[in-house]
Structure 1
Amino acid sequence: MTRSLRYTLVSLREMLVSAGPLVLVMLGLLVAAYAWLQPNPPKRVVLATGPGQSAYDSFGQAYAKALARHGIQVELRASEGAAHNLALLREGEVDIGFVQGGSGGVNADDQAELVSLGSLFVEPLWLFYREDTARRLQQLPVTALSELKGWRVNVGTAGSGVPELFGRLLDANHIRPGELRLSRLEQTPATVAFLNGELDALVFASAPEAVMVQMLLQTPGVRLMPFPQAQAYARRLAFLTPVLLPQGVVDLARRLPPRDVPLVASTTSLLARADTHPALLQLVAQAAIELHSPPGWFNRAREYPNLAHGEVPVAREAERAIVNGPPLLQRYLPFWLANLIERMWLSLGLILALALPLSRVIPPLYSFRIRRRVFVWYAQLRDIEQRADTRPGEHAALLDELDTLEQHAEKIVLPLSYTDELYTLRQHIHVVRKKLQRGTAPTQPTEPSHEPR
């Protein structure tokens, strides 16, 4: 090993040893800040969806794929619908869920326990009826709820939220539930019964992407009841929005539907528990932008997700994502790294502010450790000098010790900038040797200055 390399290694080692305590303290503070802030989200989240083949189920699978790209596993929890999802959120059995406005009765406690990630899409109230039933009763076409008196109507399970929603519509029309023959079958068996003629009408709220909606809109002998008073419903019931199913939007070639159909719709939001990890809320909100911003039957491009129609407070992370889009760092870095920097930058700044003044002790400490390699030998040199004063007859033995001391001094390795310390030691050894050789009591050697460079 060359001398220059040895000098460099010695300097590097002493610098590492000098700075080591400060580095360990900073690392300890960083680990403590990480453990306290927990910047990275959990790797698993539970999402409440809805019945099989429903729009909630389809969107749930889309969210699972979107979050899987960032290493987040989404467990899909099937449910009866929006009201059931709200109950699961309240009980803490799921982290996130689709909830339809007006379907579950959001209460005051929900304002503190739940947050919204934005309104995602509208769910029209679809009321399909059999054409042969209306023709037999001479009520074709059906255009008002009052014309359904005495009909066999399925309104879905209580967990779907549709029974409560439909009940409020009946109440607004002064219709008692007993005036209809209501049933509460699940969506799939109810659809089978409806197609077999065992039911006269089906009521459910769903996005148009639902398989059942697509199928029934194109089934011969099945008609969709319009809501000509959609604007009035929206004025009476704040959670409802008037929407229009445009002519031909289902099938342009077959011109389905044959005319514009006014409908009423509730807005579906994505709700989460307030204690859900903030980074996870941000990631889900970004996935919502990706999945719900394209144009649809009832919305223009980038109309959803939005912050309107919220029944619970909007999460700050969701608001930032919807209003400003992805943070700057996430546009260039992987999500985990960008999120780590974004949530740790304040702690990093405080740690750096603490490290700067503490780092001022490193140069003096480094200088002390380098010079210590030299002046530790002054203790032995002083001992030789003192024994020479008290034991005049041992000068020969002391000269041998002094020769050994000089041999050790010649092997000391120092950075070039501190070589003068080594030469000073050797000079003092030479002074003591001359005095021993003269047989006189040597004066005490001058110790090197301990002032840091």
Structure 2
Amino acid sequence: MLAWCCHLQSLRFDMPKIFDFTRFSLRDLIATAGPTVLVIAVLCALAYVLADPQPPAVVRISTGQENGAYEGFAKKYAAELARYHIKVEMTPSLGSLQNLQRLMDPVSQIDIGFVQSGSTEQEDAERNGLISLGSLFTEPVWLFYRDTHDISELNQLKGLHINVGPAGTGVPQLFKKLLSVNGVAPDELQLGALENTPATVALLAGTIDGMVFSSAPDELLIQMLLQTPGIKLFDFTQAEAYTRRFPFLSHVVLPRGIVDLGRDLPARDYQLIAPTATLVAREGIHPALVDLFVQSATRIHGRAGWFQRQGEFPTASYTEVPVAPAAAKYYKTGPSFLQHYFPFWLSNFMERMWVVVVAVGALFIPLSRIVPPLYVWKVRSRVYRWYGQLRSVEQAIEDVPNNKRKEVYALQLGHLNGIEEKVNQISIPLSFAEELYGLRSHINFVRNRIIGLQGVIDIENGPATD
């Protein structure tokens, strides 16, 4: 029993040496593959910085007048992007034209804004580095006037006081174009510049004859005016002709009863002309933001409405601003394959970094063939380098003068014993044990040779004599 315990005790002390001998040589693997892995890691980090897959945490959007349709939709976009931890900072404006001016101003911090079609030309948009993320909805031109006037054509507005809103809305520019094709000069009527809310108060008070603005029907102001006694909506009976003269306009119909079916409001169909509201951004906007805004636009504007069918908006049509390629692709084919099956942050990362993934894959194939031989060479070099020492011992005992042989042989045996002691301390994976044991046998072979040469000396010298 005592002998068994002693045996276990000796095994306990020998186990660390066994583990050293059998464990995988991580040190050698790091030494061989480390530089290559480091180069790949640096390249990946550089590619990540250049590709910049993650969108910025803050985006600034220029909206419109207080309580207007643009402001309402901007709040919906803010709620959508908040799901992805992106803050939308909203900056009020007078309207479309001011939004466009902010986007074209390099000093402005605005990233994106609502712009009405017809506000600019394609050449100007390209020159100023603007891109469209798609048309969102139609913005009919609403001309409300007091029923004390009988107006069926725009040239009957001569001499009246019509409010067209501030210059920043874009409506004054559009309305002047409409007047010009009707042969009416701007100085033949009085054009007001009030914002919508005070203009509505003035219209109801009778201090102005009419007001014109362009907005989506979601705006409460429109629904209120459509139901207000004494206020009439102008019917653009020549709507189709206007759309032929101005390609950025479309012909829409306000259906009978759309406001209130029970009260039959309006009591008949109204022909209207409508530019479209477009989401316009700077050309340098982050690609991930383009995807997020386009997807959000589909959820916000994709439903059926007063002037649109289900899925008709958003669209890449009805805009003179060049459409971003990513947005055009989305409207044509829908979400990408990865976006169907992965969260946005992951799909976006993989789509932006696919070049890096392919490059790493291309590097991995040759590396998978180079690293294993390098690893083998590195491990075996710990054994093979001692063969140089062993060869120096053999060379030292060659052609030694007779009078120095005994001294040299003894010296080289000591050198050989030192080599063997260091070799016995080598830690090497078990799969390379054959090389280690081969080295030890060769050390023993050289030792035996030296001992044999010492025996020859003793025989040559013979027994000592008195």
Matched, 1:74 2:83: no
Q: Which AA in structure 2 matches 1:331?
A: H
Q: Which of 405-414 and 291-300 deviates more?
A: 405-414
| CA–CA distance in structure 1, aligned partners of residues 310 and 56 of structure 2 | 32
2:120 to 105, 127, 151: 105
1:312 to 321, 332, 342: 321
Matching residue of 1:428: 442
Matched, 1:88 2:97: no
Matching residue of 1:146: 155
| CA–CA distance in structure 1, aligned partners of residues 136 and 66 of structure 2 | 20
Q: Which of 112-121 and 203-212 deviates more?
A: 112-121
TM-score, normalization by structure 2:
0.86
| CA–CA distance in structure 2, aligned partners of residues 116 and 8 of structure 1 | 65
| CA–CA distance in structure 2, aligned partners of residues 433 and 146 of structure 1 | 121
Matching residue of 2:432: 418
Matching residue of 1:290: 299
Matching residue of 1:206: 215
Q: Which AA in structure 2 matches 1:73?
A: K
Q: Which aligned pairs between 1:343-358 and structure 2 lie closer than 5 A?
A: 343-358=352-367
Q: Deviations over 1:146-177 (max 9, x none)?
A: 33333221100111010111111111221222
Q: Count residues in correspondence.
A: 434
Matched, 1:253 2:262: yes
Q: Which AA in structure 2 matches 1:284?
A: F
Report the alpha carbon displacement of residue 406 of structure 1 after superposing the two structures with TM.
2.6
Instruction: Assess if the C-alpha contact under 8 Å between 2:23 and 2:430 holds in 1.
Output: no
Provide the aligned C-alpha RMSD in A: 2.3
Matching residue of 2:227: 218
Matching residue of 2:135: 119
| CA–CA distance in structure 2, aligned partners of residues 439 and 263 of structure 1 | 117
| CA–CA distance in structure 2, aligned partners of residues 430 and 350 of structure 1 | 51
Report the alpha carbon displacement of residue 29 of structure 1 after superposing the two structures with TM.
1.7
Tell me the secondary structure at the aligned position of residue 311 of structure 1: coil
Instruction: Assess if the C-alpha contact under 8 Å between 1:10 and 1:413 holds in 2.
Output: no
| CA–CA distance in structure 2, aligned partners of residues 105 and 386 of structure 1 | 92
Matched, 1:128 2:128: no
2:171 to 141, 162, 169: 162
Matching residue of 2:461: none
| CA–CA distance in structure 2, aligned partners of residues 42 and 144 of structure 1 | 50
Report the alpha carbon displacement of residue 98 of structure 1 after superposing the two structures with TM.
1.1
Report the alpha carbon displacement of residue 372 of structure 1 after superposing the two structures with TM.
1.8
Q: Which AA in structure 1 matches 2:33?
A: A
Q: Deviations over 1:87-133 (max 9, x none)?
A: 1111132222111112x2325231242222111110001111223x3
| CA–CA distance in structure 2, aligned partners of residues 172 and 5 of structure 1 | 94
| CA–CA distance in structure 2, aligned partners of residues 109 and 199 of structure 1 | 36
| CA–CA distance in structure 1, aligned partners of residues 91 and 455 of structure 2 | 95
| CA–CA distance in structure 2, aligned partners of residues 279 and 441 of structure 1 | 85
Report the alpha carbon displacement of residue 207 of structure 1 after superposing the two structures with TM.
0.4
Tell me the secondary structure at the aligned position of residue 381 of structure 2: helix
Which is higher, the Rg of structure 1 or of structure 2?
2
| CA–CA distance in structure 2, aligned partners of residues 340 and 8 of structure 1 | 41
* Structure 2 gap ranges (5+): 1-14, 457-466
| CA–CA distance in structure 2, aligned partners of residues 28 and 403 of structure 1 | 47
TM-score, normalization by structure 1:
0.89
Instruction: Assess if the C-alpha contact under 8 Å between 1:286 and 1:322 holds in 2.
Output: no
Distance change >3 Å, CA 393–CA 61, structure 1 → 2: same
